[in-house]
């Protein structure tokens, strides 16, 4: 059974099919790439998988306790709680909050302390808060951000803001992490550091990662399998070597004839 199974997924905006009849599967602990030219429908597909958009047709099923459960029609926060975390092409941090608070906000969705305990600030509430804070700092330390816990997110360098967004997504304890162009705007050294970081995330957290990225060296270096979109349709799927030599991909994405 696949962890995530997508069949014939379609999204129409008026007369335009931004995503058309897309099928794909993700297994446990995989690192999979999703590539394609600008306007190919990659971010639209992410938005469909994470509940930002509802598909015009098709199915999205997530394996939970050995059963497939449909994600279609569910709210974004429900899908996050079910185990799908994501970052965005344009960084979406709470820029006027501290680094620590950005992570704690994500963690509170998993906080099971009751409403009464929260309202009356019971010992159970404070114990839970301390536990979450310790977990957040531990997570930030993995990404070398534990010394920045009191800094406002907006004051971090660009590369650190990118890392913080990944930390915040991981704080929701996802089964699948969707990374939408995490290397966008990074210099070569930052990209190299990110490549190592993505490998570390998969190894340490044992989760599945689906990566949208235009930096082909990053995709080819870290991904086990790659899907290729063009004009909203899936035109290829295979290993990095297979994709690199695929004539349709070369023509659509790499500029070949």
Q: Let me know whether 68 and 124 are in one domain.
A: no
pLDDT of residue 110: 58
> Each residue of 124-161: pLDDT tens digit?
655 767 888 999 999 999 999 999 999 999 999 998 99
For residue 85, give both structure tokens. Answer: 């975390």
Give the chain's domain count: 2
CA distance 199 to 29: 11
Q: Let me know whether 76 and 180 are in one domain.
A: yes
**Which of residues 134, 158, 182 is at a domain's end?**
158
Mean pLDDT of 167-180: 94
* 89: in domain: no
Residue 254 in this model has a pLDDT that exceeds 70: no
Residue 120 in this model has a pLDDT that exceeds 50: no
Question: What range does the domain containing 229 cover?
Answer: 4-83+174-252
Q: Let me know whether 116 and 11 are in one domain.
A: no
Q: Let me know whether 66 and 120 are in one domain.
A: no
Token look-up 């063009």 returns: 230
Helix then strand then coil, in percent of the chain rounded to 5, is 40, 25, 35
Between these two residues, 120 and 126, which has the higher pLDDT value? 126
* 164: in domain: no
Model confidence band, residue 116 (pLDDT cutoffs 50, 70, 90): very low
Q: Let me know whether 100 and 217 are in one domain.
A: no
């Amino acid at each position: 059974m696949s962890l995530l199974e997508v069949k014939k997924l379609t999204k129409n905006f008026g007369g335009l099919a931004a995503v058309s009849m897309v099928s794909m599967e993700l297994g446990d602990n995989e690192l999979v790439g999703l590539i394609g030219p600008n306007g190919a429908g990659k971010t639209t597909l992410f938005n469909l998988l994470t509940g930002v958009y509802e598909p015009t047709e098709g199915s999205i099923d997530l394996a939970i306790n050995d059963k497939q459960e449909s994600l279609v029609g569910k709210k974004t926060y429900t899908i996050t709680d079910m185990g799908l975390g994501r970052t965005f092409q344009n960084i979406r941090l709470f820029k006027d909050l501290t680094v620590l608070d950005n992570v704690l906000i994500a963690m509170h969705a998993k906080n099971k302390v009751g409403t009464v305990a929260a309202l009356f600030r019971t010992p159970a509430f404070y114990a839970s808060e301390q536990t979450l804070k310790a977990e957040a700092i531990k997570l930030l330390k993995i990404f070398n951000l534990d010394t920045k816990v009191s800094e406002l997110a907006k004051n971090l360098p660009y590369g650190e803001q990118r890392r913080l967004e990944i930390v915040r997504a991981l704080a929701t304890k996802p089964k699948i992490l969707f990374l939408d162009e995490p290397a966008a705007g990074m210099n070569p050294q930052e990209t190299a550091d990110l490549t190592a970081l993505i490998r570390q995330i998969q190894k340490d957290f044992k989760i599945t990662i689906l990566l949208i990225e235009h930096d082909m060296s990053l995709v080819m270096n870290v991904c086990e399998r790659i899907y290729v979109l063009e004009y909203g349709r899936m035109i290829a799927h295979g290993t990095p070597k297979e994709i690199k030599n695929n004539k349709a991909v070369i023509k659509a994405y790499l500029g070949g004839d």
